[in-house]
Amino acid sequence: MRSEILYPGAFPLVKIELSAGEQIKAESGAMVGASPTIDVESKMEGGFLGALSRKLLTGEKFFFQTLRASRGPGEVLLAPTVPGEIVILELDGVTEYMVQKDGFLAGADSVRIESKMQSFARGLIGGEGFFILKIGGKGPLIINSFGAIHRIDLKPDQEYIVDNSHMVAWSATTSYTIERASSGWVASFTSGEGFVCRFRGPGVVYIQSRNPGGFGAWIRQFIPVSE
Amino acid sequence: MIPHEWRETLPRMSSSPNALCFGHEFPTSGVPCLVQIGLQGLTVVFTSDGQEQQEDIPFTALSISVGGLDHDHLVLKWPSKQGERLLYLKDAELIRTFRRVAPPSVHIPFEQAASVARLARWRRMGAWGVAFGILLTGVAGLWWGSDLLVALAVERIPVEWERKLGEAAYRELLARQDLVKEGPAVSAIQEMTRRLVEQIPHNPYKFEVTVVKSDVVNAFALPGGYIVVFTGLMQNAACAEEVAGVLGHEIHHVLQRHGLERIVKRLGLVVAASILVGDQRGFAGLMKQFSVEFVGLTFDREQETRADIAGLHLLYDAKIDPFGMIRFFERLSANDEGRMEWLSTHPMSRGRAERLTAELAAMPQLTPVPFTFDWAAVRESLGAPPSAEP
Ligand SMILES: [Zn+2]
């Protein structure tokens, strides 16, 4: 698997070259184009119950796709749904990343994806749903964001505060607690900036420069409401 | 130097990296390394550019804690020549070996760390347990018709918030109505409202009453203190005290949060449970969709009775003749039902007026203080004859 990001910036594509017999995992619906040698299989990562619970609790797509170069070498083109940057992380077999449900685009077959029920409070107010993806294993992992991806490096015990709707992925060695952004529940609910996450190192946190929920709200004001 | 046998005592468990090492000069994402556990301590092997580098750390130099998002990493810390080093272990086999081999001096901190991790896991499971418990209780509660859950949920909604929701519905509704903005009718309603509201101790609401031009004999209250009175109601009232009675009743729908109760009941369990566990944002979204439904909101019999009784007491405290309210109810129940919309939202029964009469009889004699306006003039300003038909 050799991957290359084309048109870096807001509207990138990833080109992945596969040798014969090689396969990758991709978010279903991410495929834009492929050589005729590539076959697409939908597979339920994490078993039926895992897939079902992901579907029910995160509204996420039921399947990941497996793209396999079954009939000889070929290439696939992948793109995320939202405008934003794509980043390729090389997993070393030890490092694990927690990835919010919309952040996963593709990964090598040797990349391991689990959906994980997280703590109730984090699920409820953390903004990324009750399930997040825990991704480990070895090989390239391709994540995408809404807007640009910004990397924050945290030394041991170093802290950083991130608005919860901007989180994309973070290494499993970091920990975080959820805090209210502003004083008073009413203020948080009405200002729309509910909660922030206080991350604590060591590790890396990837955040997105735009907030999908905020953007949605901004768009909605231009959509006429029928009486 | 470290004796060679250290590494011979246990089989090499794996040759690929099994831990992440953090340190001052390392990248913040950590450096993968191979940790092996011997009888005296750890050996950490780093491979960079094909070059193997290793560090031996005696158990005595280690301090132990748990880390990571799920408290599932064993964190070993020691001072090295290059500064403090941290090792994050997750491999279960490796952690078991560590526990087996580590000397007694390390046992206590290890067990402490392990119990921190267990506690965190339990707490997480516990929170899920409580959440499911609440859901189950909720299902059971609603199933058996218990209003406890609804009451609990309603209690959790902040007043300010209720006010915002009510206001949204109110503005939306008024935008489509013909309003009476000033004149005798408006100042009469304002005077009545002021006298009533003054009597409410610790009132968290700012009441706003609007008069809407319409023949329907009706008045209603929205959550948060928004009350609408139709001119039809005023035209049909023989005296101001009758209208004040309706106002007192509507004010108590607000104070007792009947609208919210109704909505929570209607939206059901999920919403109630989500408010209980603190997720009011979800509720906000739903309320927005349902805000228009406020208008068609009817209350149940029990709520009506509670509003009647409390409204009567409010009239009494405000020194407004409570007989007006009772008389109005009696007249409504005797009247043609078709024109009386208040009847459709307020099922009128003789029992209702009778209950109020009984309640009033138990209260000490009252010397009413009349209103400053002339009711006949108010009626005339609305185009009704100066006195209502009996
Ligand atoms: Zn009522």
Domain ranges of chain B: 4-112, 159-381
Check residue B52 and give its pLDDT: 84
Check residue A33 and give its pLDDT: 94
The residue segments making up the domain with residue A41 are 2-220
> Percentage of chain B with pLDDT > 90?
22
Query: With an 8 Å Cβ cutoff, are B161 and A186 in contact?
Result: yes
CB contact A94 to B (< 8 Å): yes
Q: Is A52 helix (H, G, I), strand (E, B) or coil?
A: helix
**Residue B45 neighbours by CB under 8 Å, 6+ apart:** B33, B34, B35, B36, B52, B53, B54
- Is the pLDDT score of B293 beyond 60? no
Q: Are B348 and B333 in contact (CB under 8 A)?
A: yes
Check residue A130 and give its pLDDT: 62
- Is the pLDDT score of B288 beyond 70? no
> Is the pLDDT higher at A178 or at B308?
B308
Average pLDDT in the B28-37 region? 91
> Is the pLDDT higher at B193 or at B345?
B193
Size of chain A, expressed as the number of residues it contains: 227
Output the CA B178–ligand 1 centroid distance in Å.
Answer: 23
What DSSP character marks residue A11?
S
What's the number of domains chain A is made of? 1
- Tell me how far apart the alpha carbons of residues B357 and B327 are, in angstroms, rounded to a whole number: 10
> What DSSP letter does each residue of B309-333 carry, written as one string?
HHHHHHHHHTT--THHHHHHHHHHH
Tokens of B131: 């959440």
pLDDT in tens, B170-198: 877 787 778 898 899 999 999 999 999 99
Q: What is the largest CA-CA distance in chain B?
A: 112
Query: With an 8 Å Cβ cutoff, are B20 and A173 in contact?
Result: yes
In a domain, A225, yes or no: no
In a domain, A15, yes or no: yes
> Is the pLDDT higher at B345 or at B4?
B345
Counting one residue from chain A and one from chain B, the pairs whose CB atoms sit within 8 A come to 88
The one-letter code for the residue type at B260 is: L
Average pLDDT in the B31-47 region? 89
CB contact A172 to B (< 8 Å): yes
Q: Which residues of A touch B160 (CB under 8 A)?
A: 186
Highest mean predicted confidence (pLDDT) among B7-11, B47-51, B109-113, B309-313: B309-313
Q: Sheet containing A159-163: which strands, arranged edge to edge?
A: A159-163, A195-200, A175-180
Nearest residue to B33 via CA among B22, B55, B13, B17: B17
Nearest chain B residue to A199 by CA distance is B69
In a domain, A71, yes or no: yes
Would you say the C-alpha torsion B210, B214, B219, B224 has a positive or negative sign? negative
- Tell me how far apart the alpha carbons of residues B341 and B232 are, in angstroms, rounded to a whole number: 10
Average pLDDT in the B336-355 region? 62
Helix (H) or strand (E) holding B293: none
Among B130-144, B315-329, B330-344, B367-381, which stretch is predicted with the lowest mean pLDDT?
B330-344
Nearest residue to B158 via CA among B205, B201, B202, B197: B205
Question: How far B73 CA lies from chain A's nearest CA (Å)?
Answer: 7
Nearest chain B residue to A175 by CA distance is B69
The one-letter code for the residue type at B307 is: A
CB contact A36 to B (< 8 Å): no
Long-range pairs for B367-370: beta carbons < 8 A, 24 or more residues apart: B367/B319, B368/B241, B368/B319, B368/B320, B368/B321, B369/B319, B369/B320
Check residue B195 and give its pLDDT: 94
Average pLDDT in the B144-159 region? 68
- Tell me how far apart the alpha carbons of residues A98 and A136 are, in angstroms, rounded to a whole number: 9
Check residue A202 and give its pLDDT: 94
Nearest residue to B260 via CA among B291, B215, B282: B291
Degrees (nearest 5) of the Cα angle B297, B299, B305?
Answer: 155
Check residue A50 and give its pLDDT: 52
Q: Are A88 and A141 in contact (CB under 8 A)?
A: yes
Query: With an 8 Å Cβ cutoff, are B28 and A153 in contact?
Result: yes
Task: State which fold the B4-112 domain adopts.
Answer: PH-domain like (2.30.29)
Nearest chain A residue to B24 by CA distance is A155
Spell out, as residue ranges, where chain A has pLDDT lower than 50: 54, 56-62, 185-192, 227
In a domain, A56, yes or no: yes
Among B16-25, B125-134, B268-277, which stretch is predicted with the lowest mean pLDDT?
B268-277
Peptide bond before residue B385 is cis, with ω within 30 degrees of 0:
no
What is the number of other CB atoms lying within 10 angstroms of the CB of residue B304?
20
Output the CA B368–ligand 1 centroid distance in Å.
Answer: 24
- Tell me how far apart the alpha carbons of residues B379 and B239 are, in angstroms, rounded to a whole number: 9
Q: Which pLDDT band holds residue B303 (cuts at 50, 70, 90)? A: confident
Whole-prediction pTM value?
Answer: 0.56
Helix (H) or strand (E) holding A95: none
Check residue A227 and give its pLDDT: 42
